[in-house]
């Protein structure tokens, strides 16, 4: 049993893994930047999908410079809109709460590492009733660079008191997988039963559906 539990901590990405918030980010991005004269296209918005909020603001400002408000104010407008949307419309990924509860019952430490602003983390965890299940949370807000830089994962590992090679990250984006791999962690790609074109070549394991993993007890955790 001890050998099976070589992995001591599971670190979750947030957007697209805990909560189906990516459509909400897109909605906020379109609303805020369109109001500033930016032509937000689906193709260009896809480029910003894994960026930090500050990086998104800089991205659009480079292409469609506005002068009436600062980048910092723009960023806060996006964060405020996303917070509102999460509170009113946010839905958790199916099976996530039971999955994390089962991990904790097995003795794993649970962490969170996200590119989203730190202020949004408690909103999401409270919305999904997940707050007491996490031993630590980390945001790229506190790092010089967001994912795919490994900094936020190294911080998450340090907060949990678990070496990176004893951690596994659950990610739904190639950028996030690169960050976790660069930090020295194993990676489980969460696909949510879709073939959405995300490159999973860096993943050590695939989790198609949290419910499916729970229903098949022998595959409860693909990484055991």
Q: Is 204 assigned a catalytic role?
A: no
Q: Determine contact, residues 109/133, Cβ cutoff 8 Å.
A: no
Specify the pLDDT at position 2.
36
Angle (CA) 163-186-167 rounded to 5° is: 30
pLDDT for 218 equals: 46
At residue 212, the pLDDT reads 58
Q: Which of 15, 135, 141, 149 is catalytic?
A: 15
pTM: 0.88
Q: Considering the candidates 13, 135, 141, 149, report the single residue annotated as catalytic.
A: 13
Q: Is the peptide bond before 148 cis (omega within 30 degrees of 0)?
A: yes
What pLDDT is recorded for position 158?
98
The C-alpha atoms of residue 122 and residue 24 are separated, in whole angstroms, by 17
- Is-catalytic flag, 149? no
CB proximity list for 38: less than 8 A, separation 6 or greater: 60, 63, 64, 66
Query: Splitting the chain (224 residues) into consecutive groups of 10 residues, what average pLDDT does each group show?
Result: 68 97 91 91 83 89 92 93 95 94 93 96 97 98 94 98 97 96 96 81 91 55 68
Report pLDDT for 97: 95
């Amino acid at each position: 049993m001890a050998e099976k539990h070589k992995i001591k901590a599971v670190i979750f990405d947030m957007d697209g893994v805990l909560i189906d918030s990516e459509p909400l980010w897109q909605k906020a991005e379109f609303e805020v930047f369109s109001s500033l004269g930016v032509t937000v296209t689906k193709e260009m918005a896809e480029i910003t999908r894994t960026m930090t909020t500050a990086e998104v603001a800089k991205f659009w400002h480079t292409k469609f410079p506005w002068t009436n408000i600062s980048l910092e104010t723009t960023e806060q407008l996006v964060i405020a809109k996303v917070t509102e949307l999460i509170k009113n419309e946010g839905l958790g990924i199916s099976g996530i709460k039971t999955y994390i509860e089962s991990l904790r019952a097995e003795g794993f430490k649970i962490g969170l590492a996200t590119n989203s602003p730190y202020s949004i983390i408690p909103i999401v965890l409270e919305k999904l009733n997940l707050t007491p299940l996490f031993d630590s949370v980390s945001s790229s807000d506190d790092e010089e660079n967001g994912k795919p830089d490994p900094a936020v994962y190294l911080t998450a590992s340090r907060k949990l008191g678990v070496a990176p090679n004893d951690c596994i990250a659950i990610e739904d984006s190639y950028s996030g997988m690169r960050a976790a791999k660069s930090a020295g962690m194993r990676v489980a790609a969460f696909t949510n039963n879709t073939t959405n074109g995300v490159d999973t070549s860096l993943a050590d394991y695939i989790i198609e559906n949290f419910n499916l993993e729970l229903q098949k007890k022998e595959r409860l955790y693909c990484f055991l």
